[in-house]
Structure 1
Amino acid sequence: MFSCSSGHKRYFVRVTNYKTIVEQQAEVDWTVWLHDKGLAAPEVLFSKRDRSIESITYKDKEIRMVVYREAPGEHAKKKEWNKETFERLGEEIGRIHSMSKLYQGNTRAINDWHMNDEYNWRKYIPKVEKRVRETMESIFRDLEAVPKTNDTYGLVHGDVWLENVLVESNKLTLIDYQDCEKHFLLFDLVVPVYSAMEYSFDGNGSIVKYVHELTKAIFQGYARECSLPPSYLDHLLLMFRLKEVADYLLMHIYGHEVRGEEEERLFNLYRIKIEQNHLQYLITKELVEELKALAV
C-alpha cells in the first residue's frame, strides 16, 4: 500500500498480484457494490478509462493497481475496543452479510475459504508436529460436516481484525477486502473477537469475562441486521479454533525461514495452545447458550 495526496485529499494505492486478475476484479467489484450501497467499505476510484483496476509493466512484470479514497476515521485505540465498539461492528458486519445475499456480481471468482493455499495445512505444517497435524485434520474434518445454507454461508470480509477497522464518531469502515472469500458467516464475527483477545486485552480483570463481553456485544449488534440459525452457534468454538490454526499456518508460511528467540517462543506458544485446545476454556457452553438467546 502506498499513500498519496492531491490538494487536501488523501488516497491509498494498492499494488499487488496477490490474486489472478479475474479474482481481484471480483473482489474489487464487490467492494465497489458495498460502498455504493452505503455499507462499511472504502471508496474505489476509477481511472480515466473507467477501470477499477489498472495494470502497468514494471521490470518486465505486470503490476495491478487499485486506488482508494482515504476512508474516514482512525484505528481505534486499545481502550476503545470495548462492547460499545463491538456492538457497532456487529451491526456493520450484519448489514454486509444481509445485503450481500442479494449481490448479483461474479461471486464464482471469489474462492471458498478452504480453496485458498493459506489453509493447506498438509503442505505447510511440518510432519514432526504430529499432534498439531492431527488436531488440524480433526478441525477441518469437522468443518466439512457443517451444513452450508444461504443463511449461514456466503461472502465475508474474512479478515476483520483491529487494523482493518476505522472508527469515526458515528461510522465504522472496514478496509482491506483483499482476503474476501466465501465462508461461514460466523467466521466474520469470530475474527475481531479473537483479534481483540490477542492484541487488546491489557491484563486487567478476567480474559474470559473480556472475551464473553465482546462476543455478546458483536452478536447483539449483528442480530439487529442479520440472523443466524441458533443451532449454528454450536459451531462457535470450532470457528475460533479455525482462526487460531489459520494464524499458525500463516506463521509457518511467512515466518519459518528466520526465527529468532522471540519468534521461536511465539511458535511454541501457539503450538501448545493448539495441542491443548485452550480455547475450550474461553468459549464455554454457557456463552453459546446466551448467544442463542440473542439470535432468536
Structure 2
Amino acid sequence: MTQPIYDAAFLSRIENALRAALPRWGLSDASEVRLLTISENATFRAEDPASGRALVFRVHRPGYHSRAEIESELAWLTALGRAGVVATLTPVPQVDGGLIADLDEDGTRRHAVAFELLPGREPAEGDDLARWYRELGAINARLHLHARAWQRPEGFTRKRWDYDAMLGKVKLWGDWRAAPGLTPEGRAVLERTDAVLRDLLDDYGTDDARFGLVHADMRLANLLVEGDTLSVIDFDDCGFSWYLYDFASAVSFSEHEPYIPTLQAAWIEGYRTVAPLAEEDCALLPVFIMLRRLLLTAWIASHAETPTAQALGEGYTHGTVDLARAFLATYDAQQPRAVAGRAAS
C-alpha cells in the first residue's frame, strides 16, 4: 500500500526544489509559485512577473512512474497534439530541450514536467453535462482509433490497468479492504463483488479490439470547457486497459448519481459518431463503473493525506457498498456457478 507522503514538510521541500529549477525553463527567480492540486502527484503554477509567462508544473509522486513511463506518456501526448486528436496540454521543454527535469529534494531525485496553460474550467453539475459527455464520447473514440493505429516509439512503456493491477495481485492503488469505515458486513459484500468482477472481466477478455492504450482518468477534474471546446488534461495514468474503462473513469466519484445513465447514453451517442460501439460492449459499461468505484475506494484508503480522500472519507466507502449490493443483484444472479467456483478457490 502507498504510504501517505504529502505532509506540509514534504510539500515545502518539493516546492523549494521546483523554485530552484525554474531557470531551466527560462523563468526568473522572482517567479510566484503556488500549489494547485495534490492527487497522485503535486501540481504547481509558476508565473514570472518579469516576462509574464506562466507554466503548470507536475512534480511526480516518488516511486510511482519511472522516467521511461513519463517519457512514454509525453510521447503519446505530443503525438495526439500533432495529429489534432484532442485539445490537451502541451509539454514545455527546458532550455536544453529536455522534457523531464530531475529535481533535488534534499538529496532525493524527483521528476518534474512543465506544460503550457490551457484556458477553461472544470465542468460543473449545473452545466449541461450530457452535452459534454457526448463530446467526450467522440473524443474517446478518436483517442482509441489513434491508439490502435499509432506506431509507438521504441521503449514505450506504460502501466497495464487490468484486474490484477487494480484489484488482484498487484493493487497499484492499494487495497479496498483498508477503506475507512468498512464494516465486516460491507467487506463481505465487496469480496463478492470483487469475485464477480474478476469473472466478468475474464470472460470479456483483453483482445486488441477491447483492450489497448487509454487515458484511464477522464474524471471531471481532468476536463476543461471553454466556449464550445472540451479539452482533456492529465494523461499521467494513461496505460493499457479496456477501452470501455475510459467511460468508467469519466464518472469517477459520481458513480452513484441518478444522472449517470443519461451521461452514459450521451457518451455512447458521441462515440458512435466517430467509431462503432457494439451493444454487447455497451451492456458491460456498468461493470467497468463498478470496477472503477472499487479501485477508487482502494485509492482513498492508500492516499488518505490528499484533499480528495479527506473530503470523501467513510461516506464514499458506504456508498461503494450500496452500489455493490445493487450491482450484485444484477450481475451475481447472471452467473452464480462460475463466480462461486472462483470465490471458493
Q: Same fold (TM over 0.5)?
A: yes
Deviations, residues 56-104 of structure 1 (Å, cap 9, x unaligned): 2221111111000011222123211422121112111221111121222
Determine the structure 1 residue equivalent to 2:296. Answer: 247
Determine the structure 2 residue equivalent to 1:228. Answer: 277
Determine the structure 2 residue equivalent to 1:274. Answer: 324
Change (3 A) 1:279 1:108: farther
Instruction: Give the distance between the partners of 1:81 and 1:149, measured in 2 at CA.
Output: 35
Change (3 A) 1:213 1:269: closer
Q: Once the 2 structures are TM-superposed, how far is the Cα of residue 194 of structure 1 from its aligned partner?
A: 5.0
- The letter of the residue matching 2:138 is E
Identity %: 19
Deviations, residues 1-21 of structure 1 (Å, cap 9, x unaligned): 110124444310001133111
Determine the structure 2 residue equivalent to 1:48. Answer: 95
Instruction: Give the distance between the partners of 2:129 and 2:83, measured in 1 at CA.
Output: 27
* Residue among 243, 259, 264 paired with 2:314: 264
- 1:162–1:196 CA contact under 8 A, matched in 2: no
Q: Matched residue of 1:67: which SS? A: strand
* Residue among 95, 112, 116 paired with 1:65: 112
- 2:163–2:198 CA contact under 8 A, matched in 1: no
Change (3 A) 1:69 1:115: farther
Q: Matched residue of 1:76: which SS? A: coil
Deviations, residues 182-241 of structure 1 (Å, cap 9, x unaligned): 11111112322455555xx6xxxxx2xx32322111111111122223322232221121
Instruction: Give the distance between the partners of 1:233 and 1:26, measured in 2 at CA.
Output: 30
Specify every segment of 5 or more residues in structure 2 that has no aligned partner in the other structure, as ranges: 1-42, 179-183, 332-345
1:14 correspondence with 2:72: no
Q: Matched residue of 1:173: which SS? A: strand
Q: Once the 2 structures are TM-superposed, how far is the Cα of residue 49 of structure 1 from its aligned partner?
A: 2.3
Q: Matched residue of 1:50: which SS? A: coil
Specify every segment of 5 or more residues in structure 1 that has no aligned partner in the other structure, as ranges: 202-206, 282-296
* Pairing 1:1-296 to 2, within 5 Å after superposition: 1-6=43-48, 7-16=51-60, 17=62, 18-38=64-84, 39-106=86-153, 109-114=157-162, 118-120=166-168, 124-126=175-177, 128=184, 129-193=187-251, 195-197=253-255, 207=258, 210-255=259-304, 263-277=313-327
- The letter of the residue matching 1:28 is L
Q: Matched residue of 1:71: which SS? A: coil
- The letter of the residue matching 1:230 is E
Instruction: Give the distance between the partners of 1:163 and 1:188, measured in 2 at CA.
Output: 14
Q: Matched residue of 1:112: which SS? A: coil
Determine the structure 2 residue equivalent to 1:204. Answer: none
Instruction: Give the distance between the partners of 2:131 and 2:204, measured in 1 at CA.
Output: 31
Report which of the two structures shows the higher radius of gyration computed on alpha carbons.
2
Determine the structure 1 residue equivalent to 2:9. Answer: none
Deviations, residues 268-292 of structure 1 (Å, cap 9, x unaligned): 33223324427959xxxxxxxxxxx
- 1:81–1:196 CA contact under 8 A, matched in 2: no
Instruction: Give the distance between the partners of 1:89 and 1:260, measured in 2 at CA.
Output: 28
Deviations, residues 121-158 of structure 1 (Å, cap 9, x unaligned): 77724495233223212212321221333332211110
- 2:57–2:112 CA contact under 8 A, matched in 1: yes
- The letter of the residue matching 1:270 is T
Determine the structure 2 residue equivalent to 1:285. Answer: none
Q: Matched residue of 1:27: which SS? A: helix
Instruction: Give the distance between the partners of 2:176 and 2:219, measured in 1 at CA.
Output: 24
Instruction: Give the distance between the partners of 1:167 and 1:280, measured in 2 at CA.
Output: 36
Q: Once the 2 structures are TM-superposed, how far is the Cα of residue 120 of structure 1 from its aligned partner?
A: 4.1
Q: Once the 2 structures are TM-superposed, how far is the Cα of residue 28 of structure 1 from its aligned partner?
A: 1.6
Change (3 A) 1:260 1:248: closer
TM-score by length of 1: 0.80
Deviations, residues 225-261 of structure 1 (Å, cap 9, x unaligned): 22223322232221121112112111222239xx999
Instruction: Give the distance between the partners of 1:272 and 1:93, measured in 2 at CA.
Output: 29
- The letter of the residue matching 2:316 is L
Instruction: Give the distance between the partners of 1:168 and 1:86, measured in 2 at CA.
Output: 15
